[in-house]
Structure 1
Amino acid sequence: MIRVVLADDEPVVRFGVRAVLATAGDVDVVAEAENGSEAVELVAAHRPDVAVLDIRMPRLDGLDAANLIRAHHPDTRTLVLTTFADDGYISRALGEGASGFVLKTGDPQEIIAGVRAVATGAAYLSPLVARRVVDQLAKNRPRPGAAQRVQALTAREREVLGLVGAGLSNAEIAGQLHVVEGTVKVYVSTILRQLGVRNRVQAAIIAHEAGLIPG
């Protein structure tokens, strides 16, 4: 069972997200918070697998809460809830290493998929959020084309990168490629170093930009 702390300052949103997660069968919302400070406290008390955090919350926003959670409770992954109005926050979250992004107004099943993915250590990007992030980064931070950047990788590394971008965990990638999980970990570490990125979410963005996501 994946244990979740859910944080959003809107009770209706919390109710809706909790109802969606209840349909998963393998997700248990162990506590709810209405602000970032309370979310951090509840993570310390419950030690969940995943903290689902709204970005815009009083007292402490979701990104600051995520940073504190990662610093003090690294075994708890963070999944950020966002809207199309949150472009600046999305860019900031990407740079600070959130584990995943889910659009509040998107397909409810994406919330379940995001929780499951980040619980296993994978990155997860809602497809619409990924497109928004790519567009925003292209506008605000011009950088070498993604297609050019991935040319430094081997064909196998590009294949692994595409699967990372699709939200697969190391174990799932290993199963798909018929290799051991330790080999995938080596591939992922090499990919992050070659691309000059800090985490799987940043790598996943490049995979989306470069068109490496398998169909």
Structure 2
Amino acid sequence: MKSIVIIDDHPAICIAIRSTLEKSGEFKVVLESDNGIDALEYLRKNDVDLVILDLELPRLDGFEIMKRIRAAELSTKVLFLSAKNENIYAIRALKSGAHGFIGKGKNMNDIFQAVKMVLSGYSFFPESIMQGLADGKKEKSTPVFKSLSNRELMIARLLADGQSNLEIGLALSISNKTVSTYKIRIFQKLNINSIIELASHVKENDFN
């Protein structure tokens, strides 16, 4: 039986996924966690076949969790599950080393099939993304936003949503000073001077 960890801060989603996977008799959800820090501690101590990982989480975002999984050389496979724009984030998930990406808008059977494919040794990403890569198309992102790192992109979205440096720092477990440094870097890369301009950029490029 394959072991699975779900990292998502929406209890209803965790319950639905657990029920769907365990009903098949093929999978066992060994941990549900609403934050990456606790989940990473578990993963370092236990062999897990698959992590189902949300992008937006308290304390550590999904990309940072993925980065730490790779840094620790853990053998677990990772399937991103997100409500965010797949044309933007699926390609970043692929480049981060994930084995798949599926939208939260999909039904439970689709998620079940994604899990089966990833655990069978295949990758599972939106067909449009894979076809675009096969055709040599570039990432669907403006050159300006493409220059942002995954962490910068996540912080840019939080800033555009109206969250303060303090709120972002508490949510991501980083200092207020670190958030300020990211903010300066983001503004420089995007050549903007205000949160209003940032919010406009995020909306225009559908990064929500």
Deviation at 1:92, TM superposition (A): 2.0
User: Which residue does the alignment assign to 2:140?
Assistant: 139
Give the Cα separation in 2 of the matches to 1:59 and 1:9. 11
TM-align CA RMSD: 2.5
1:2 aligns with 2:2: yes
Give the Cα separation in 2 of the matches to 1:114 and 1:87. 18
User: Which residue does the alignment assign to 1:14?
Assistant: 14
User: Which residue does the alignment assign to 2:191?
Assistant: none
Q: Which amino acid aligns with 1:119?
A: L
Deviation at 1:32, TM superposition (A): 0.9
Superimposed CA distance per residue, residues 115-156 of structure 1 (whole angstroms, 9 cap, x where no aligned partner):
22222332112xxx33367499553379xxxxxxxxxxxxxx
Give the Cα separation in 2 of the matches to 1:69 and 1:52. 13
User: Which residue does the alignment assign to 1:25?
Assistant: 25
Give the Cα separation in 2 of the matches to 1:12 and 1:77. 23
How many residue pairs get aligned? The number is 139
Correspondence 1:155-166 to 2 at 5 A: none
Superimposed CA distance per residue, residues 95-134 of structure 1 (whole angstroms, 9 cap, x where no aligned partner):
2121001221213122222222222332112xxx333674
Q: Which amino acid aligns with 2:140?
A: K
User: Which residue does the alignment assign to 2:41?
Assistant: 41
Structure-2 change in CA distance of 1:71 and 1:119 (3 Å): farther
User: Which residue does the alignment assign to 1:130?
Assistant: 127
1:98 aligns with 2:91: no
Give the Cα separation in 2 of the matches to 1:26 and 1:88. 32
Give the Cα separation in 1 of the matches to 2:138 and 2:63. 18
Asked if the contact 1:24–1:112 (Cα under 8 Å) also holds between the matched residues in 2, the reply is no
Structure-2 change in CA distance of 1:37 and 1:130 (3 Å): farther
Asked if the contact 1:53–1:62 (Cα under 8 Å) also holds between the matched residues in 2, the reply is yes
Structure-2 change in CA distance of 1:91 and 1:141 (3 Å): farther
Structure-2 change in CA distance of 1:6 and 1:100 (3 Å): same
Structure-2 change in CA distance of 1:31 and 1:83 (3 Å): same
Give the Cα separation in 2 of the matches to 1:79 and 1:89. 13
Asked if the contact 1:43–1:51 (Cα under 8 Å) also holds between the matched residues in 2, the reply is no
**Where do 5+ consecutive residues of structure 1 fail to align?**
143-215
Identical pairs, percent: 32
Give the Cα separation in 1 of the matches to 2:86 and 2:42. 25
Structure-2 change in CA distance of 1:138 and 1:31 (3 Å): closer
Asked if the contact 1:91–1:137 (Cα under 8 Å) also holds between the matched residues in 2, the reply is no
